[in-house]
Structure 1
C-alpha cells in the first residue's frame, strides 16, 4: 500500500528515511549501511525506521525506486523541454552531453550504482532494478521516437547502457567523458 503523498515542500518520515538511505549508501556504500547511520541522517528513531522498513532489502528496494522515479521525472522534463525544438540527432546528442556534464560529482551519483551492484547480489532487489532500467528505456524510446529513429525499442537499451557506462566512467575516473560522439556513432549505426 502506497503512503499518502506528502504536501509540496514537506518531506514525510518515510521519504526522509529513503533519502537518508540514499545519502548513506552514496557515502559509505551498501556495506556501510547501518540503522544507526540511517536514523542519524534521517533524524528519526530506530523504532520509526524499523516500523516503516522491517528489512534492509525492502528499504533498499524502496530507495532505489524513489531514486528512479525522481531521476526519470527530471530527465523527462529535460526531454520535454527539447522535444518541441525539432532537434536533429546531432543536437540531441549535444543536449545529452550537456546534461551529463551538469551532473554533479558526488555521493548522490554513487548511490544508484551501489544499489544496482547490490541488486546483482540480492535477488530481492532485482525487480526494483529492472523497473529503474525500464523507466530509462521508456524515456530513451520517447526521445528516439521524437527524433525519428526507426525501431526505437531496439535502440533504447544500448543508448541507456552507453550513457550509464559513460557516467560510471566519469565517476570512477573523475574526468569528463564526451558523450555526443559515441552516442552519434551508436545512433548512426542503428
Structure 2
C-alpha cells in the first residue's frame, strides 16, 4: 500500500504542476489531488523539493523506458520519411495527459534554479539524445552524436510552442527534422 500511495502522490504532483505550475504545489493541493491524507505527504516526503525531484524522477523513469522501447524497435536503416514519422510519434505520445505534459517543462525550468533537480533532468535529456542518435544512425547520418542535441532541442522547442499556443494537429516536427538532417548531410 505504501508504494501505491507514494506513486499516487507523485502523479498528483505532476498534475498539480501541470495545472498550477511549480508554485502551486502545496501539501493540501497534492493530498486532495492524490486522494490521500495530508499526513501521507509529509510521511513520504520531507520537503517540497523532495516532492518535485521524485515527481520528475517518476516522469524520467517512465519516459526513459518508453524511449528505450522505441529506440530498440528502430534498429537498422530507416528512410528520412520513416524517421519523420517516428519523431512525430515520440512528440505526440506522452506517458501523461495534456496537463501533465506541462509538468516536465516546468520541472526542467525549475532544474535551472534547483541543482537537486538537475541530475534527473539530465537523465531525461540523455534518453531523448539516445533515441535521436538511434534514428540518426538509422538514417545513415555520418556523425549522429553531433546532431542528436540539436534534434532534441528542435523537438523540445516545437513541443513548447505547441503547448504555449494550444495548437493541435501536426506539430511540424517531422518536417523540421527533415530540413535539419538534409542540411547536416
The match for 1:88 is: 79
The match for 1:78 is: 70
What's the Cα RMSD here? 2.3
The match for 2:36 is: 44
Contact 2:11 2:55 in 1 (8 A): yes
Cα shift at 1:101: 4.3
TM-score of the pair, normalised by structure 2: 0.86
The match for 1:3 is: none
The match for 1:184 is: 178
CA distance 1:131–1:101, shift in 2 (3 Å): closer
Gaps of 5+ in 2: none
Distance 1:151 1:181 in 2: 20
Contact 1:67 1:112 in 2 (8 A): yes
Cα shift at 1:82: 4.1
Q: In the alignment, does 2:116 pair up with 1:124? A: yes
1:51-107 alpha-carbon deviations (Å, 9 max, x no partner): 2110111211111111112122223333433446x4212221133224434568720
* Counterpart selection for 2:14 from 19, 22, 43: 22
Larger mean CA deviation between 153-162 and 115-124 belongs to: 115-124
Contact 1:140 1:156 in 2 (8 A): yes
Cα shift at 1:148: 2.3
TM-score of the pair, normalised by structure 1: 0.84
Q: How many pairs align? A: 181
Contact 1:72 1:139 in 2 (8 A): no
Gaps of 5+ in 1: 1-5
